[in-house]
Structure 1
Amino acid sequence: MDERLVRAPIPRELVKVLGVESQTPSKAGAFTRAFLKNSILPNTQQDVQGILSHKALILGYATSKKDKSKRSSKKAKGLNARQKRAMKIFQIKPEHQRYELFLPLHEHWKQYITDLCGGFKPTSTPQFVQQKLLKADFHGAILTVVRSKCPSYVGTTGILVQELKHVFNFITKENRLKVIPKRNSVFSVETNGFVSYIYGSKFEQRASERSAKKFKVRGTIDL
């Protein structure tokens, strides 16, 4: 607060309305200092003259810990795995289980895997391709079951539309959704003339986890 503002004379039009008269600067200053002395706590370190010398006072609003905890508790929480299963978020509806609908996804996957492998140059070796495929995303790839503990799965071919931790979900040319367990199954995938094999028993992890894992190439995709 500026002391000069306190000592400013009252406008004439307000003198009659308020019923007061302007005081001389010395009297106004003396009244202000006396008022502040009576208002300030005894243990306050600042003196009256120091307060009057400030042009502005910034008053901060301190929030309590309870208010902060209430605000943090109001933040929206995402759905857990059980809630997602109950809502059937990841289930493909029967009307969408059509092979032709996922052909564009397969075309995108072919372009993606070509870029990942550097264009499949003539100098590319099977080991180089397999090293790239180890951490690749296979959504959109055409996989074939070549071996399985369950003979009825052998020969199943389709576009991979969902990869879960323990199963592959195919859409076959017959417009059927096939759920193939990874364990005890071997899958083949062809990429620009290279045929590689995926050993599902050691492929039981999510694609995001596989991308961060280190592998040793052994001639096949033995994960």
Structure 2
Amino acid sequence: MEGEAQVYSPLPPGLEGRLGVEGHAVSRATRFTEAYLRNCVQRQTRLDVQKVLTHKALILDYSRPKKDRTRRSSKKAKGLNARQKRMMKVYQIRPEHQRYDLFLPLNALWTQYIRELCGGLRHSSPQFVQQKLVKADFHGAIISVVRSKCPAYVGITGILIQEFKQVFKIITKEDKTKVIPKRNSVFSVEIDGFVSHIYGNKLEMRASERSAKKFKVKGTIDL
């Protein structure tokens, strides 16, 4: 231990010059560290390098800020359920608004929508138009009941103002609203002289669900 202490002890003053030794390795490392921090760190942080090295460690990496736990987590607002919608009469149209002429602009928008959906009806094949109509939204379309198990519905024509899972609600030119069940009914839709027959049994779902459904080619449905 005594010999090891003598080996690692500092050299006597004046002996470094005679031996050609530049100085102790620790002093060189200290000078290098201070110069590096002065050139690289002090320009950005404007800190006292000597004070930082003496009193505390310098963190050169990014530290994520702490979360504010006092802030309350915002809950996502829930929509109305079916019972609340019925109580608030969301789907009911006021009697003063049940006028045929008020829905004519909606019919014009629907006609333009179908033209863009089918890419122009004049140059489209009947099969292509039929496939597009089955998945289309019919709000604003002028539809007619051509066949039904209930003879009272046959011949009713009007603008579709509301579509539900099981029924169509249309308004006629006489400003009367009619509720037509989809099941066991055949409807006709006319756009630019093109007449298409649609079976209500295939439409027994909401319009949003129908747009993503894949329909299989089946035969006609006898009524």
Indicate the TM-score class for this superposition, using the shorter chain for normalisation.
0.5 to 0.7
For 1:193 and 1:108, how far apart are their aligned partners in 2?
17
User: How many residues are treated as equivalent by the alignment?
Assistant: 177
* Partner SS state of residue 71, structure 1: coil
For 2:125 and 2:220, how far apart are their aligned partners in 1?
12
Cα distance per residue 1:137-164 (max 9 Å; x no partner): 1111101111112211111111001111
Instruction: Choose 1 or 2 for highest CA Rg.
Output: 2
Identify unmatched segments of 5+ residues in structure 2. Answer: 1-45
For 1:146 and 1:140, how far apart are their aligned partners in 2?
18
The answer for the alignment partner of 1:49 in structure 2 is 55
Question: What are the residue-to-residue correspondences of 1:43-192 with 2, within 5 Å?
Answer: 49-51=55-57, 60-63=65-68, 71-73=73-75, 75-121=76-122, 123-192=123-192
Structure 1 pair 50/79, CA: closer, same or farther in 2 (3 Å)?
same
Partners of 2:149 and 2:184 within 8 A in 1:
yes
Partners of 1:187 and 1:200 within 8 A in 2:
yes
Identity among equivalent pairs (%): 66
* Partner SS state of residue 56, structure 2: helix
Partners of 2:134 and 2:203 within 8 A in 1:
no
Partners of 2:145 and 2:188 within 8 A in 1:
yes
TM-score w.r.t. the length of structure 2 is 0.67
* Partner SS state of residue 101, structure 1: helix
Structure 1 pair 143/221, CA: closer, same or farther in 2 (3 Å)?
farther
Identify unmatched segments of 5+ residues in structure 1. Answer: 5-28, 30-46
For 2:142 and 2:209, how far apart are their aligned partners in 1?
21
Structure 1 pair 209/221, CA: closer, same or farther in 2 (3 Å)?
farther
Structure 1 pair 59/220, CA: closer, same or farther in 2 (3 Å)?
closer
For 2:113 and 2:59, how far apart are their aligned partners in 1?
67
